[in-house]
Chains A and B, each alone.
Chain A
Amino acid sequence: MSLKFMKATLAVVLPGILLGGALFASDESPGSNKGPSVTMSPAVLTTVTRGKPGLVPLDFRVVKGFHINSNRPNAEFLIPTVLSIEAPTDIVVGKVTYPPGEDISLPFAPTDKLNVYTGDFQLTVLVRPLVGVAASKYMLHGRLKYQACDNAACYPPKSLPVEFEIKVIKGPAAHVKNPGQSPHVHN
């Protein structure tokens, strides 16, 4: 066998083996074969004026055939869907608004109503950059905690990484009582 042929074979077979390994590794990642998952659509860049509140919409999708509890499930022990955001120190993250869930009942318990999200749902996050923050783009990170079920089984609670970017812009010049004393303000 020629050296050239061996090199060519290795060049093709090695990536093949690596591909196999990668496929195996991906199979073991959380959410791959351990039940359904929720996905997040890429968030659109939201522009927010510094010092003022802005609403950031975040879109999620529950895999078909499954449901997750809403933020306000009907029963005491059910795990609600909750979004938590870790914000930079100079951007205040306020209230997260959750949509109302849909009341459904399982085939085996037609009288018990569950309040759930299915398919697409949107959360909104209130953000307010502080007045002193530099006008720029900021990436915010968080996690969506949820617990999914289908009609016959439930899967352990999961946590979906969430990230979105906001663009902070300067607002219109603030009204200053005595502009004459500031060399930086020209009305």
Chain B
Amino acid sequence: MKKRDPVVIVVVAVVIALMLFFGIRKAHRAPVAELGPATSGSPAKSRPAPDFSLQSLDGKTLRLSDFKGKAVLLNFWATWCEPCKIEMPWFVDLQNKYGAQGLQVLGVAMDDSDKKDIAKFVKDMGVNYPVAIGKEAVGNDYGGVQFLPETFFIDRAGRVQDKVFGLKGKGEIEDSIKKILASQGEAAQAAK
């Protein structure tokens, strides 16, 4: 029988190892990619936003499904996150500006801090939108939330149209808000 070249065997082994590595890695990270486009919205690629049930700072149960029909800006944040702190006054302004058109900003605190501390922080920042205490499982549903802030733009049909990871400019956030607010108009026109 013809003797096999050891180099070929080594190459085959390395290829198998690399396929295993990248295959498993890709499979593991798939949920992040499935939550929609990385930077700007693309309705064709949008996915339903995972529903959640979390306790808000005022003790009520906050469900994403309660806001169906509204354009939702879902912001994951924490008290120790300085970029999150920079965004909050923007969200307050944007809630004031677009609330009447159907925008609802929702905050989810991914924080180990005491609920009282979070409430104090929120009060100090003048937050005018509901804030819930986050759970890791909810973060996982949204791709893992491995850093903060992370913001998801959910249209009136409950689909993630856009997401912003990290701090971006207020203008970019406002553009994404306009897109999800417009989603109702598009849906109505499509129905005609």
Chain A residues packing against B (C-beta within 8 Å): 1-2, 5, 8-9, 12-13, 15-17, 19-21, 23-24, 27-28, 33-35, 75, 77-79, 106, 108-109, 112, 114, 147, 149-157
Q: Does B30 contact A (CB under 8 A)?
A: no
Chain B residue nearest in CB terms to A33: B146
Q: Are B79 and A153 in contact (CB under 8 A)?
A: no
Query: Which B residues are CB-close (under 8 A) to A157?
Result: 80, 112
A78 CB contact (under 8 Å) in B4, B82, B86: B82
Query: A28-B28, A154-B84 are known contacts; what are 14 more A-B pairs with Cβ within 8 Å?
Result: A5-B4, A8-B4, A9-B4, A17-B16, A23-B21, A35-B146, A75-B85, A106-B82, A106-B167, A108-B83, A150-B166, A153-B81, A153-B148, A155-B146
Query: Which A residues are CB-close (under 8 A) to B9?
Result: 8-9, 12-13
Complex CA distance for A24 and B78, rounded to whole angstroms: 30
Q: Are B20 and A108 in contact (CB under 8 A)?
A: no
Q: Are A75 and B82 in contact (CB under 8 A)?
A: yes
CB B53 to nearest CB in A, in angstroms, measures 23
Q: Are B12 and A13 in contact (CB under 8 A)?
A: yes
A106 CB contact (under 8 Å) in B3, B83, B169: B83
Query: Which A residues are CB-close (under 8 A) to B117?
Result: 77
